[in-house]
Amino acid sequence: MVSIGIHGYYIEQCKAIEDTIMFYQMETKTQHQFVESDTYTLVQSLSNREYWEDAVYQSIGSEPLVVTSSSKKGNILDITLVGSSQSFLKWLNTIQHTLVFCTVQICSIDTQGNSISFRCKIAPREP
The gap between the terminal CA atoms of the chain, to the nearest Å, is 66
- Can you give the pLDDT at residue 2? 62
Output the tens digit of pLDDT for each of the chain's 127 residues: 567 777 788 888 888 888 888 888 888 887 777 767 777 666 665 665 567 788 888 888 877 888 888 898 888 889 999 988 888 889 888 888 887 778 889 999 998 777 789 999 998 877 5
- Can you give the pLDDT at residue 117? 92
- Can you give the pLDDT at residue 40? 67
- Can you give the pLDDT at residue 118? 92
- Can you give the pLDDT at residue 23? 82
**Secondary structure element (H or E) that encloses residue 80, with its range:** strand 76-83
Nearest to 99 by CA among 39, 45, 53: 53
Strand, coil or helix: what is 69? Answer: strand
- Can you give the pLDDT at residue 22? 85
- Can you give the pLDDT at residue 50? 63
Domain ranges of the chain: 2-36, 51-124
Q: Which long-range contacts (CB under 8 A, 24 or more apart) does 96-101 make?
A: 98/59, 99/52, 99/55, 99/56, 99/59, 100/125, 101/49, 101/52, 101/125
CATH architecture assigned to 51-124:
2-Layer Sandwich (3.30)
Strand, coil or helix: what is 103? Answer: strand
- Can you give the pLDDT at residue 45? 58
- Can you give the pLDDT at residue 46? 60
Strand order in the sheet with 66-73: 66-73, 76-83, 115-124, 102-112
pTM assigned to the model: 0.56
